[in-house]
Amino acid sequence: MGEVDQAFIQSIQHRANLDTIEIEGIPLINLSLSHTTDINLLVSEIGNACKNWGFFQVINHGVPLELLDKIKVAAKAFFDQPMEEKRKVKRDEVNPMGYYESEHTKNVRDWKEVFDFLIKDPTFLPASPELEDDEMRTLSNQWPENPPQFREVCQEYAREVEKLGYKLLELIALSLGLPSNRFNGYFEDQLSRMRLNHYPPCPCPELALGVGRHKDAGALTIVAQDDVGGLQVKRKSDGVWVPVKPTPNALVINVGDIIQVWSNEAYESVEHRVVVNSERERFSIPIFFFPSHYVMVKPLEELVNEGNPPKYKPYNFGKFNVARNRSNYKKLEVQNIQISDFKII
Ligand code: OGA
Ligand code: NI
């Protein structure tokens, strides 16, 4: 296979088209209230973006811009270290937090390395995915000694983005005709996590992907990206892969599987992937908002009725999360757990 290990090679239909195309991109929403004056206008912009795209970018989001710069510098400083330094915080099947360089998405290896940590540390999680097993275990972060200040910058960034996460969940709740705080209770013991992604230059960007096509399993994802580009979204209207244009000071937001279930598919979680390139490394920093382990995820009662019956059976988020985590470590013979497993046909 030459320079790239077979494990990274995408099947032909999933490979990137590397031609640059100019097409209608995802919406850009200004969250500053002085700009919109009318909150209802903002709420309807958010609602339309969730309905039509599942993805949008926000500016004037309240996350201090110097912190956005600092987290990107910290990510680079961490990944620039020698492998033996990064391996000191390597994650494994027991502790899924820390450094990792061989994640698979849909059974193909991603061209990336990552560092993961929990927003709320420690948190509790079921010990196994088996429904009859009610044993719990504690999950906690692994922090590297180097680079200095890494932990402080990560935690400060996560605190600020968490505030934005609640603000967006409130706007999304309003856009569905629900009280603004409708989702807040689900996040009291949140399993949310933050990830630093590093995509090194790749000798064969036409064969491998930084992250293969996938949907995010949480409620909402907020991503900071640098100016390199590579994130692509599968446009709902026609299935075309649309690039998410790096926009100065903006954050990328996407609806995850849980909002799809809560909204009974009024808003859908959309497939996305990351294309790599042969010249520039890329960094991105997502925060995945995950509810508490004991939350039973199901279509909200206010949003279902006789004409619009629930499209999903309830599922326990902790169990789902444990089952999903397990599958990230090795190439499995079968597809990992999906919300479609709970779909009522
Ligand atoms: C992810 C993801 C996008 C990016 O990590 O789930 O979709 O731009 N990342 O790195
Ligand atoms: Ni994703």
Task: Point out the ligand nearest to the CA of residue 115.
Answer: 1
Q: Which residues line ligand 1 (CB under 6 A)?
A: 195, 197, 211, 216, 223, 225, 231, 272, 274, 284, 286
Residue 16 in any domain: the answer is: no
pLDDT at position 248: 96
Question: Among all chains, which residue has been given the structure tokens 């030459």?
Answer: 2
What is the position in ligand 1's atom list of the atom closest to the CA of 221?
6
CA of 284 to the centre of ligand 1 (A): 7
- Contact call for residues 232 and 241 (beta carbons, < 8 A): yes
Residue 183 maps to a domain: yes
Ligand 1 centre to CA of 286 (Å) is 6
User: Would residue 84 count as lying in a domain?
Assistant: yes
CA nearest neighbour of 42 among 167, 210, 154: 167
Quote the CA–CA distance of 146 and 148 in Å, as a whole number. 5
Whether residue 226 lies inside any domain: the answer is: yes
The reply to whether 73 falls in a domain is: yes
- Tell me the CA–centroid distance for residue 255 and ligand 1, in Å: 13
Cα within 13 Å of Cα(102), Cβ side: 9
Task: Give residue 225 CA to ligand 1 midpoint distance, Å.
Answer: 9
What value, to the nearest 5°, has the Cα angle with vertex 224 and ends 260 and 120? Answer: 70
Q: Is residue 304 in some structural domain?
A: yes
- Distance between CA 72 and CA 66 in Å, rounded? 10
Reading the block at residue 260, the tokens are: 């799809």
Structure tokens at 79: 């990944």
Q: Which pLDDT does position 334 carry in this prediction?
A: 66
In a domain, 61, yes or no: yes
Q: What is the mean pLDDT of each run of 10 residues along the chain (345 residues)?
A: 80 82 84 79 97 97 98 98 97 90 92 98 93 94 97 98 98 98 98 98 96 97 97 93 96 98 98 97 98 98 97 97 74 77 91
Cβ contacts of residue 338 below 8 Å, gap of 6+? none
**Nearest atom, ligand 1, residue 244 CA:** 8
Name the closest ligand to CA 287.
1
Domain encompassing residue 179: 33-327
Can you give the CATH number for the domain in which 254 is found?
A: 2.60.120.330
- Answer yes or no: is 260 within a domain: yes
Torsion angle, CA of 290/294/300/304, rounded to 10 degrees?
130
pLDDT value at residue 83: 97
Ligand 1 centre to CA of 273 (Å) is 7
Of 116, 95, 51, nearest in space to 259 by CA = 51
Atom of ligand 1 nearest to the CA of 273: 7
Cα 38 off chain centre by = 30
**What's the structural domain count of the chain?**
1
